[in-house]
Amino acid sequence: MTKLGISSSQPKPKDTGPPPLNIRIDWKAYFVRFCQEHGDPVQYSLDKLLFPDGWMYGGVDYSGPEWKPPNKGQEMFLKRTYWEIRLKLVKNNLFPLEVRLHRLEETQAIRSVPLQQQILISQYSEEKGRPTLSVERSDLDFEAYRERIDWLRKDMAICQQELAALTERGSEDTHV
């Protein structure tokens, strides 16, 4: 007998290979990678996201599922739908932001000092062991509004270009 109580005459246990790996799929990282590959999504339905290339992804859970476009005709339809939804979202954000900036500029024009803004800051406090909120006050940043409006206008132009390109490709497909 050995110290472990196993006789040297007993057969040794079979080598079962390396110990099992404890790997878990990081579905959030997978979704981020999916977005890098397929582009920025728009909400297609209550439970589906649609991507510029016609792919769809489950909108409820990072683990999906995901769907590729079933055929060329459906792919073109889904791509067009994507750019139409995105264009609508951009327009729905652009107009109210332009109106808000215009009203703020009018208000500033009749004031003697710069309008003030509040920015809510969330920081983790080691001392308290939880996030804490604070307020930062500063002159109103008109440039941030202008930059966002400029970005939305550029995105609107991209949407319109993509829709025009899809229309052109669609008419080429029907003439072939």
The tokens describing 156, both together, are 């609107």
Examine residue 80 and state whether it is found in any structural domain, yes or no: yes
Tens digits of residue pLDDT in 129-145: 888 998 999 999 999 99
Task: Give the three-class secondary structure for 39.
Answer: coil
CB-side exposure of 111: number of CA atoms within 13 Å? 12
Alpha-carbon span 126 to 121, nearest angstrom: 16
Query: Is residue 46 in some structural domain?
Result: yes
78, part of any domain: yes
Averaged confidence pLDDT in the chain = 87
Helix (H, G, I), strand (E, B) or coil at 154: helix
Tell me the per-residue pLDDT of 13-63, one tens digit each, with 9 for 90 and over. Answer: 566 666 667 788 899 999 999 999 999 999 999 999 999 999 999 999 999
Specify if 97 maps to a domain. Answer: yes
Domain residues for the domain of 42 are 25-68
pLDDT for 5 beyond 80: no
- In a domain, residue 48? The reply is yes
In a domain, 132, yes or no: no
**165 and 104 part of one domain:** yes
Give me the phi and psi of 94, to 5 degrees please.
-70, -55
Percent of the chain with pLDDT over 70: 85
> Is 31 inside a domain boundary?
yes
| Tens digits of residue pLDDT in 53-80 | 999 999 999 998 999 887 888 888 999 9
Q: Do 42 and 91 fall into the same domain?
A: no
